[in-house]
């Protein structure tokens, strides 16, 4: 049974939570493979709204949620989420990889201190300790969930690592912030609470594949925040592309054959860094207000811009996206003209790829095609052909340019505001050719 993998194709916040919830219906296991509680997934079930940061969203459907080895876990936040779900009568069925790394108090302190030190050049991180935790993992100074079950090893590691972190924090002007005894006691307590969930999840997932179970992998953040292929250094610290799913779970990459790219009908990003199609006008305000574009994790306003095909070419190529799921189409309703960036102009050259260099990106001017808008997307829409003609022209252009069929369109937060499509590619042309400016 192939694994369905859900990937964000832009700068995160594409609406993955809703799509994961949709695909979870048929899944036995829903797995997170990277990131941590920097993510924020909102799922609306009828009038109930759930906001999850670290727990895989599939648990709301009663599925087994797996937190893979590639995830970094703040145990305090995870326990809080488990308790909140339990209070709402959802007893999460959870498995946590014994190899996943733990976010420690010094990671959070260092994340904040490094950002302050960078000043105007700050990354705009979520300050959840994500980057420092992944740094420790790579430099082999990390603490893993398995260590919570071995108090002597945990104590030995903390005694070795904390004095070094103390010195690092002092360099940032933060002296004597860490109390080894308290951190040890807190993490032992977290270990007790989480011990029943900690398991060799790579073995469990591989067994599930053999038993023909249905697996769904849930990406966090988006391709443009990938530490290698995003807008480095304005990225997160994990691999958000499809390749990250194999590494972050311990499954064979050949099982990743159904890759759903989540695509917001326009573009947003939180934090600093290049955003070539960013809008600073009334249209940007329209997208922000109508799309409720405020971060789920930090409540920061998201920067908004037109849809960017250069980004989508990059992200769908990197992850081998086989299906597109378009989200938040309703947010574009009411705009007279809608633009799609097809290429960038860079130093008199027209380019169709995403440059590596921040300075080059800042010098890129988007080249747009203009589309006619639509005035209404009634909630009675049940199939692709019910969409207004101009909306279909817009979406057809995207799927034809990428040669990837749209399989899902979401036009509101409710489960019912989703249509499944049986689109096939090639020459979908409704006679309204978009024009260049």
**Residues designated catalytic:** 13, 41
- Residues 270-309 interacting with ligand IMP (rule: CB under 6 A): 270-271
Give the shortest CB-240-to-ligand IMP separation in angstroms. 9
| 128 binds ligand IMP per the rule CB under 6 A | yes
Contact flags string 235-274 toward ligand IMP, x per CB under 6 A: -xx--------------------------------xx---
Rounded CA-CA distance 197/404 in Å is 38
Give the shortest CB-271-to-ligand IMP separation in angstroms. 2
| 9 binds ligand IMP per the rule CB under 6 A | no
- Residues 153-212 interacting with ligand IMP (rule: CB under 6 A): none
Rounded CA-CA distance 14/161 in Å is 37
Give the shortest CB-38-to-ligand IMP separation in angstroms. 4
DSSP letter string over 369-409?
EEEE--S---TT--SGGGS-HHHHHHHHHHHHHHT--EEEE
Sign of CA dihedral 88, 12, 390, 395: negative
| 67 binds ligand IMP per the rule CB under 6 A | no
217 vs 397, which CB is nearer to ligand IMP?
Answer: 217
With CA atoms as reference, report the closest residue to 62 among 33, 34, 28. Answer: 28
Give the shortest CB-13-to-ligand IMP separation in angstroms. 5
> Could you give the angle at the alpha carbon of 122 between the alpha carbons of 118 and 128, nearest 5°?
105
In this structure, are residues 148 and 198 in contact, taking their beta carbons and an 8 Å threshold? yes
| 220 binds ligand IMP per the rule CB under 6 A | yes
Locus of tokens 């994500």: 130
In this structure, are residues 425 and 405 in contact, taking their beta carbons and an 8 Å threshold? yes
In this structure, are residues 408 and 419 in contact, taking their beta carbons and an 8 Å threshold? yes
Using CB under 6 A, which of 123, 178, 241, 259 touches ligand IMP?
Answer: 123
- Judged by CB under 6 A, the stretch of 125-133, 157-165, 200-208, 379-387 that binds ligand IMP is 125-133
Chain Cα centroid distance, residue 15: 9
SS3 54: coil
| 412 binds ligand IMP per the rule CB under 6 A | no
Token pair of 117 as six digits: 């030190």
Rounded CA-CA distance 234/271 in Å is 8
| 112 binds ligand IMP per the rule CB under 6 A | no
- Residues 21-60 interacting with ligand IMP (rule: CB under 6 A): 38-40
| 131 binds ligand IMP per the rule CB under 6 A | yes
Give the shortest CB-247-to-ligand IMP separation in angstroms. 17
Beta strands (DSSP E) in 150-302 are: 198-199, 215-218, 258-264, 267-269
| 124 binds ligand IMP per the rule CB under 6 A | yes
| 13 binds ligand IMP per the rule CB under 6 A | yes
Contact flags string 366-385 toward ligand IMP, x per CB under 6 A: --------------------
| 142 binds ligand IMP per the rule CB under 6 A | no
In this structure, are residues 130 and 103 in contact, taking their beta carbons and an 8 Å threshold? yes
238 vs 399, which CB is nearer to ligand IMP?
Answer: 238
| 130 binds ligand IMP per the rule CB under 6 A | yes
Using CB under 6 A, which of 7, 10, 12, 107 touches ligand IMP?
Answer: 12
Rounded CA-CA distance 104/51 in Å is 23
SS3 68: coil
Which residues, 6 or more positions from 83, have their beta carbon under 8 angstroms from its beta carbon?
none
- Judged by CB under 6 A, the stretch of 92-100, 219-227, 382-390, 424-432 that binds ligand IMP is 219-227
The secondary element (H helix, E strand) that includes residue 231 is: none
Binding interface with ligand IMP (CB under 6 A): 11-13, 38-40, 123-126, 128, 130-131, 220-221, 225, 234, 236-237, 270-271
């Amino acid at each position: 049974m192939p694994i369905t993998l859900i990937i964000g194709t832009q700068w995160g916040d594409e609406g993955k939570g809703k799509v994961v919830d949709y695909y979870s219906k048929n899944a036995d296991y829903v797995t997170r493979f990277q990131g941590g509680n920097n993510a924020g997934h909102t799922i609306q079930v009828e009038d109930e709204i759930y906001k999850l940061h670290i727990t895989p969203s599939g648990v709301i459907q009663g599925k087994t949620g797996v937190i893979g080895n590639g995830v970094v876990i703040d145990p305090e936040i995870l326990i809080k989420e488990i308790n909140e779900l339990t209070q709402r009568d959802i007893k999460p069925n959870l498995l946590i990889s014994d190899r996943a790394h733990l976010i420690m108090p010094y990671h959070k302190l260092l994340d904040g201190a490094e950002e302050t030190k960078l000043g105007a050049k700050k990354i705009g991180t979520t300050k959840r300790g994500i980057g420092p935790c992944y740094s420790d993992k790579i430099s082999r100074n990390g603490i893993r969930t398995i260590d919570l079950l071995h108090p002597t090893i945990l104590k030995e590691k903390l005694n070795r690592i904390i004095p070094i972190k103390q010195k690092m924090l002092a360099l940032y002007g933060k002296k004597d912030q860490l109390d080894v005894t308290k951190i040890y006691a807190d993490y032992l307590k977290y270990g007790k609470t989480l011990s029943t969930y900690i398991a060799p999840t790579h073995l469990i997932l591989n067994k599930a594949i053999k038993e023909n179970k249905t697996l769904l992998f849930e990406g966090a953040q988006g391709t443009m925040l990938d530490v290698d292929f995003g807008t480095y250094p304005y990225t997160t610290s994990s691999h958000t592309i499809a390749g990250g799913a194999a590494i972050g779970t311990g499954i064979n990459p050949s099982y990743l054959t159904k890759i759903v790219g989540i695509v917001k009908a326009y573009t947003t990003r939180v934090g600093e860094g290049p955003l070539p199609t960013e809008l600073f006008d009334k249209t940007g305000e329209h997208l922000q207000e109508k799309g409720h574009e405020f971060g789920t994790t930090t409540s920061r306003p998201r920067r908004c811009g037109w849809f960017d095909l250069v980004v989508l070419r990059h992200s769908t190529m990197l992850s081998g996206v086989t299906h597109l799921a378009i989200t938040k189409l309703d947010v574009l309703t009411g705009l007279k003209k809608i633009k799609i960036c097809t290429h960038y102009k860079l130093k008199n050259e027209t380019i169709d790829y995403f440059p590596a260099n921040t300075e080059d990106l800042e010098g890129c001017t988007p080249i747009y095609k203009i589309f006619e808008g639509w005035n209404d997307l009634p909630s009675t829409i049940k199939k692709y052909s019910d969409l207004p003609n101009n909306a279909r022209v817009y979406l057809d252009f995207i799927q034809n340019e990428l040669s990837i069929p749209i399989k899902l369109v979401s036009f509101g937060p409710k489960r019912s505001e989703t249509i499944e499509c049986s689109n096939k590619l090639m020459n979908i042309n409704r006679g309204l050719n978009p024009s260049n400016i």
